[in-house]
Structure formats: C-alpha cells, structure tokens
C-alpha cells in the first residue's frame, strides 16, 4: 500500500498494533457501499472510464457476497477493511481496481464508513425504543386502574396507578428516541471527497456521492470532515442516557420481583435458577441490563479521552474509536431487546400492589388537601394537623382510616365524617386528574396519545 516510501516492512509488533481488521471488518457492507458510490461518481465525472467504473461496482458486489457468505479471508497484513476489500477487488478485476482510490483517502473513507455504520445503529436503536414503548403502553392500558404505591426516597409517598408508572418510562424512552433522532439528523453529512484533509484537485462531485449514500449534504470543511467523531460521541452519549433509564427500570424490576415486595412476576423466559438453591428464581436479565450501563458509560469516557488532545486533522488515535462504539451498540441493543421481552411478559401482582399502596400513611396528603378544600385551612396549618394525626396513628399502630372521628377532631374540631371518603387509595388516585396525573382516565388519555404517535 505504501511500500514505495519504505525500504523495509513493519515489525511484527508494529503490524499488530497498527492493524484494525479484526474489528473494522464489521463495516464491510458500509465500506463497499461507499466505494460503489465513489466509483459511480468517478465514472460520471469522466475521471475513470465507464467500463472501469462498471467493473469496479460489479466486482465490489462479488466481494460483498463472499464476505456475507463467510468465504472471504481477512488479512492482518492489509491492516483494515478498506485495503482487504481493495486487494480482493484487484484479484477479481485486475488493473481497474487500482483506480478506485482516485480522488479519496483512507481518512475520508473511514469517516464515511463509520458514519454509515453509526447511522444504522441510530436507526436500530430507534426501532428498539419503539418496540419497548409499545409493550409499556400495553402494560399501562391494562393496568390503568391498578393501584400501587408511589415512592420518594424508596419510602411510600402517595398511591399511584400501575399504568401511570409504566407511562413514566414511556416518557423517558421517548426522550431517548428524540435525542437519537436529533443526533442522527445532525450527523447526516458526507465526509467522502474530503480526502486526507484538504479536499481533491480532481473534478469530483461530492453532492452526487452524498445523495447516493443517503446523506443530506456533503460536509462543508475537509479538515473537520476527516477529524470529526462527534457523531460517535453523540451515539455513545445517547446510548449512555438510554442505558441509564434501562438500568433504573431494571433496578425496580429486581426489587419488585423479590419476595419482600412481590409486586411483579417475571416470566421464566427472562429468569434463571440457582445451582444449589432449588427455590430460587433470579431476575438475571434485569441485573445484566443494569450492568450494561457501566460498559456503555466506559465507552463514552474512553472516546472522549481519546479525542480530547488531538490536533486537526486525522491522527491514528482515531482507530481506537470503533471498538468503543461497536461494543456500546451491541450492549444497548441487547439491553433494549431484553427489557422489551421482560416488560411484555411480566405480570403485576394486583393484591400485593394494592396492599402496599395503603401502607405508610400514603393518603396523608389527601387528608391535608381535604382540610384545605373543605375547611379552608392554610396548607401549612393543614400539613401540621395531618402530621399530628399521622403521629397518633403511628403510636396506635393503625392507619389513618382506622382513627375514630373523635380522634380526627382532636387535630381540628371541624373535621367531619366525609373526611373518610378521601382516605381510600382508589379515591386518592382518582382525584389526581390534572394533566399528567395518575388518575386512570388521565393514564388512558396518555396511552391513546402515545399509541397515535407511535403509529
């Protein structure tokens, strides 16, 4: 490839550290797609002959079919996917293969390949998020009336509905989808034709290759085009935030499926047993999802660290970008698929959820609101009176609805029998009917809205 400049070949250690074919062969399809677009442009502009252009394009399809069939032999001596493909193309079509690299460099070639690959991962992740949101919507609609405890500080706070809790994750994952769509749109500029760093003297048509590869436009600055890895950093950033959301949900599933909570039953398909304890049913899928965020965050930090000290334009350090993104993409897609499967199969334990929703004086806020609404107390006074009644119930070892009217009136003499109507968990959730609230009708409205958007 560059033997004309060097009298001797590379040392074996240099060859080992320099070669990237073991991992960048994953970009074979994108590399061939980019090369076919480049060859078509060269022929259209008269830079190479039509016959050479056609031979190159057809030969590249043969190379791709060999790779996809597992019949291609990758060579470390040829360093990377670009040279492996070009060498095999020369075996197939001879001299015209040498004209393929006219008007480009490996710098803009790898940037193009990597962008195309990353763009595909954005699309796959967006599809994965859609699938997850759809199973969450089914859970939300089916559980719009199921009452469960809402927590702050992992302490029972107020009753909510199962559907409302599921919709919280729909909103989270919708933001993840939006971030990915936004980053995908921003990255959709073609580096092809930027060459090594300064552009080319040949009369190339960068608009033609950009359009052929599905880019919105060619990148506007050749220096930036070959040295930009923002698209990879944005993918890793989006993946890290999404994995964090998956991890939060996984943590809840681990807690909820425990014998102490019994909020949810996970299917056997996404659980494992113990080699020694026959009674165990472990939420291993959730635990592994929870762990994936560590790998994905690590990839983001690694690439940020790689890029932070690089002068313009291209440096070989950038070869270390791909493994981070490849690993993060694999981890994210597996976590999304596993979570979608778990959510689709899981069954809420209605009785346990309802029982827990009534614990911990969860309707105390409803009592305070009643004192404000019915007796006209300032909220701070109502808060104080309710706190006194909670303390009384706690000392008696009972819940608020079990206090007598006389005991209630010790906190405020005007409290009457109708106060008990707000102390039930069903009344509590039904009263939270403001937009975005936990009331069943609100949940159904949100489910309907999201079903419409996802269609």
Among 169, 164, 166, 149, which Cα is nearest to 436's?
Answer: 164
- What does the alpha-carbon distance between residue 408 and residue 92 come to, in Å, rounded to a whole number? 91
- Note if 299 is an active site residue: no
Report CA torsion sign: 381, 385, 388, 394: negative
Q: Are strands 217-218 and 264-265 parallel, antiparallel or unpaired?
A: unpaired
- For the question of residue 51 being annotated catalytic, the response is no
DSSP character for 159? E
Return the closest-CA partner of residue 440 out of 172, 164, 167.
164
Tokens of 390: 């909670």
- Residue 197 sits at the vertex; the CA angle it makes with 191 and 198, to the nearest 5 degrees, is 100
Identify the CA nearest to 156 among candidates 359, 427, 351: 359
The one catalytic residue in 153, 404, 418, 434 is 153
Number of helical (H) and strand (E) elements in the chain, helices listed first = 18, 6
B/e letters for 236-269, b = 16+ CB within 10 Å, e = fewer, are bbbbbbbbebbbebbebbbbbbeeebebbbbeee
Q: Collapsing DSSP states into helix, strand and coil, what is residue 30?
A: helix
Helix axes 50-68, 28-44, angle to 10 degrees: 170
With tokens 């809402």, the residue in question is 150
Catalytic residue among 75, 178, 267, 274: 274
Q: Which helix (H) or strand (E) holds 158?
A: strand 155-161
* Closest of 203, 28, 195, 193 to residue 106, by C-alpha: 195
Centroid of chain to Cα 450: 19
Q: What Rg, from alpha-carbon coordinates, does the chain have? A: 30
Q: Which two tokens stand for residue 453?
A: 């958007």
- Give the active site residues: 153, 274
């Amino acid at each position: 490839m560059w033997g004309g400049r060097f009298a001797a070949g590379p040392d074996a250690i240099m060859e080992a550290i320099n070669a990237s074919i073991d991992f960048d062969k994953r970009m074979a399809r994108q590399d061939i797609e980019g090369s076919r677009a480049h060859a078509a442009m060269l022929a259209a502009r008269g830079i190479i002959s039509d016959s050479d252009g056609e031979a190159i394009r057809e030969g590249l399809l043969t190379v791709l079919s060999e790779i996809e069939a597992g019949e291609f032999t990758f060579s470390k001596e040829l360093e990377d996917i670009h040279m492996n493909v070009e060498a095999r193309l020369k075996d197939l079509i001879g001299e015209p293969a040498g004209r393929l690299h006219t008007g480009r460099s490996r710098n803009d070639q790898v940037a193009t390949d990597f962008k195309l690959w990353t763009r595909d991962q954005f699309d796959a992740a967006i599809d994965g998020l859609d699938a997850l949101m759809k199973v969450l919507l089914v859970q939300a609609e089916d559980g719009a009336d199921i009452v469960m405890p809402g927590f702050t500080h992992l302490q029972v706070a107020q009753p909510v509905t199962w559907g409302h809790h599921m919709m919280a994750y729909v909103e989270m994952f919708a933001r993840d989808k939006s971030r990915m769509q936004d980053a995908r749109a921003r990255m959709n500029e073609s580096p092809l034709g930027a060459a090594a760093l300064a552009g080319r003297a040949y009369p190339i048509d960068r608009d033609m290759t950009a359009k052929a590869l599905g880019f919105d436009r060619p990148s506007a600055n050749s220096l930036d085009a070959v040295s930009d890895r923002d698209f990879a950093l944005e993918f890793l950033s989006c993946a890290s935030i999404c994995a964090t959301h998956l991890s939060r949900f996984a943590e809840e599933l681990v807690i909820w499926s425990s014998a102490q909570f019994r909020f949810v039953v996970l299917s056997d398909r996404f659980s494992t047993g113990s080699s020694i304890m026959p009674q165990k049913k472990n939420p291993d899928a959730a635990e592994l999802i929870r762990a994936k965020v560590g790998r994905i965050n690590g990839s983001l930090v690694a690439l940020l660290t790689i890029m932070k000290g690089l002068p313009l334009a291209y440096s070989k350090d950038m070869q270390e970008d791909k493994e981070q993104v490849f690993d993060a993409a694999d981890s994210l897609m597996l976590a999304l698929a596993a979570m979608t499967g778990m959510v689709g199969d899981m069954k809420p334990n209605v009785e346990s959820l309802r029982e827990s929703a009534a614990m911990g004086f969860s309707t105390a806020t409803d009592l305070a609101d009643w004192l404000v609404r019915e007796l006209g107390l300032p909220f701070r006074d109502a808060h104080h009176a309710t706190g006194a009644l909670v303390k009384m119930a706690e000392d008696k070892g009972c819940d608020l609805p079990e206090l007598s009217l006389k005991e209630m009136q010790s906190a405020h003499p005007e409290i009457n029998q109708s106060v008990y109507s707000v102390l039930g968990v069903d009344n509590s959730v039904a009263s939270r009917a403001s937009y975005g609230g936990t009331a069943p009708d609100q949940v159904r409205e949100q489910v309907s809205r999201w079903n419409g958007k996802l269609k």
